[in-house]
Amino acid sequence: MFNSSRIKFILIAVSLLFAGAVLFYSHSIVRELRDESEQSLIFYTELYARLAGDAAFTDYGFFFEEIIPRISFPIIITVPGSREINAWKNVPSIADTATATPELRARLWEIASKMDENNQAVPLVIGDQVLGLIHYGDSMTIQRLTYLPFIEILGALVIILAGFLGFQYIRSSEKKFIWVGLAKETAHQLGTPISSLMGWLEMAKLQLGENSEIVQEMDVDIRRLEKVSNRFAQIGAKVRREPIATEDLFKNVKEYIERRIPQKNKAVDLQFHLNVQAAVLANRELLEWALENLIKNGVDALEGKAGKIRVNIQQQEDSIYIDIEDSGKGIPDKQWKTIFKPGYSTKKRGWGMGLSLTKRIIEEYHQGKIFVRSSKPGKGTCIRVVLKGCCEISETASRNGKTNS
């Protein structure tokens, strides 16, 4: 079964092979056209030489007036053994009728030298005497053909990139639709039994009294179920965010985790270190859910053994950094990004949705970041969440006071 990395490697390899084939094919065509230009030029010079060797031939301007004008590629004729320029034709940016000033001759000689880098100069021989050297360059057709493969490859890359981005967008939309559909259906399915349980709870209060331990525990669990249902209902909806004091946010998370940990592992040492003076613009229910998931994953990483969970919250400028560190089994380097993908789980009964949902809550609904900051197999893992601070806690408290009043 191919994974995404292998598929990307295959696509890149195929693209490189395609680009190499196009370049090789176009280069061979350019080489053939250059050979044809050289053969044409040699033919014209030999024709002129034969005519000039004929005693009856006296029109020596025939070569320059009749043959050269028929040549479509640029040529420069120089005097052998010197830097003298006899004639030129089709040279880019230089008119055929331009005045041969010293500056122009120097420029033509420089162009002729560059022509010789790709094409060997053809001697103009009459009898045993070399009257001139014909330097020639590529015609406009060859020049355009030289750039054509790069244009084709660039166009192909643009099309591939557009297709890849379109495919990514469609796949992302499908994933989002599945997430939203599952969340809405879960919230809907939870709604009916929760309503029923709330009715039974009221009846239990009448029979056992509101101060009964059973009634109080049932009330806590039902409220928790109701909170979970509300969380699922908000997935895919327009999430409302408001300034929340960081201390209040983690107080609720800590209370829930401290109630939950004894059921999973009694030997866990859980510590919170808060050093923040700012509030965070967040949706309380969703952000608490994400943080709870991260801490519970840290507890699961201990695999029932004694260990430590450290939650460090600190502020740097206008950003809030939350580090959830455990002393569990750790994560190999290659899986640092994989753990946030749907379906990834190291637990036998795990669905692999918790960290993926957490990543969605942090990045999509709170415009934050989440990543594995560090991890070593057998020594533990540290996952970092970065959120945007919005204001001082005192400002948040005064806002909430005004709103409540």
Q: Which of 100, 122, 138 is the last residue of a domain?
A: 138
Contact status, residue 231 vs residue 292, Cβ threshold 8 Å: no
Which of 123, 138, 153 is the last residue in one of the domains?
A: 138
pLDDT > 80? residue 330:
yes
109 found inside a domain: yes
The verdict on 253 and 397 lying in the same domain is yes
Grade residue 129 by pLDDT with cuts at 50, 70 and 90. confident
The answer to the question of residue 46 being in a domain is: yes
Output DSSP code: residue 121.
P
Asked, for residue 26, whether it belongs to a domain, the answer is yes
Asked whether the beta carbons of 326 and 308 are under 8 A apart, the reply is yes
For every residue of 202-245, DSSP letters joined together read HHHHHHH-TT-HHHHHHHHHHHHHHHHHHHHHHTTS----EEEE
> 262 with 393, same domain?
yes
**How does the average pLDDT of the chain come out, rounded?**
77
pLDDT per residue as tens digits for the range 223-274 = 778 777 777 777 766 778 888 888 888 888 888 888 777 666 677 888 888 8
pLDDT of res. 188: 63
Q: Are residues 81 and 124 in the same domain?
A: yes
Say how many domains are in the chain. 3
Structure confidence by residue, pLDDT tens digits, 339-387: 887 666 666 555 556 788 888 889 888 889 999 999 988 889 999 999 9
Alpha carbon 146 to chain centroid, angstroms: 31
- How are beta strands 380-392 and 85-89 bridged, if at all? unpaired
Taking the CA atoms of 283, 353, 339 and 293 in sequence, report the sign of the dihedral they define: positive
Residue 221 C-alpha from the chain's centroid: 43
- Yes or no: say if 322 and 311 are a contact pair by the CB < 8 Å rule: yes
Nearest to 131 by CA among 241, 227, 49: 49
Provide CB contacts within 8 A for 210, sequence distance 6+.
Answer: 216
Strands 307-316 and 268-275: parallel
**265 shares its domain with 398:** yes
* Residue 63 shares a structural domain with residue 125: yes
Distances (CA, A) of 79 to 44, 82, 131, 192, 284: 18, 6, 7, 100, 87
* pTM recorded for the entire structure: 0.51
Confidence (pLDDT) at 383: 93
Does one domain contain both 270 and 339?
A: yes
- Which residue has better confidence, 344 or 134? 134
Q: Looking at the predicted structure, is the pLDDT value of residue 176 above 60?
A: yes
178, 91: one domain: no
Domain shared by 209 and 256, yes or no: no
**Together in a domain, 310 and 388:** yes
Single-letter amino acid code for the residue at 32: E
Does one domain contain both 247 and 386? yes
Residue 254 within a domain: yes
Same domain, 33 and 83: yes
Q: Residue 151 falls within a domain, yes or no?
A: no
Q: Is residue 149 part of a domain?
A: no
The span from the CA of 286 to the CA of 179, in Å, is 14
Local structure of 25: helix, strand or coil: helix
* Domain that includes residue 168, residue range: 163-216
Per the domain annotation, does 150 fall within a domain? no
Domain of 398, CATH number, reads 3.30.565.10
DSSP 40-97: HHHHHHHHHHHHHHSTT---TTHIIIIIGGG--S-EEEE-TTS--EEEEES-TTS-TT
Domain-embedded: residue 30 = yes
Above 80 in pLDDT, residue 298?
yes
Domain match, 371 and 270 both: yes
- Mean pLDDT is lowest, of 107-116, 318-327, 396-405, for 396-405
* Residues 143-150: contacts with CB under 8 Å, at least 24 apart: 145/26, 145/29, 145/30, 145/33, 146/26, 146/30, 148/26, 149/22, 149/23, 149/25, 149/26
- In this prediction, residues 1-29 reach a mean pLDDT of 75
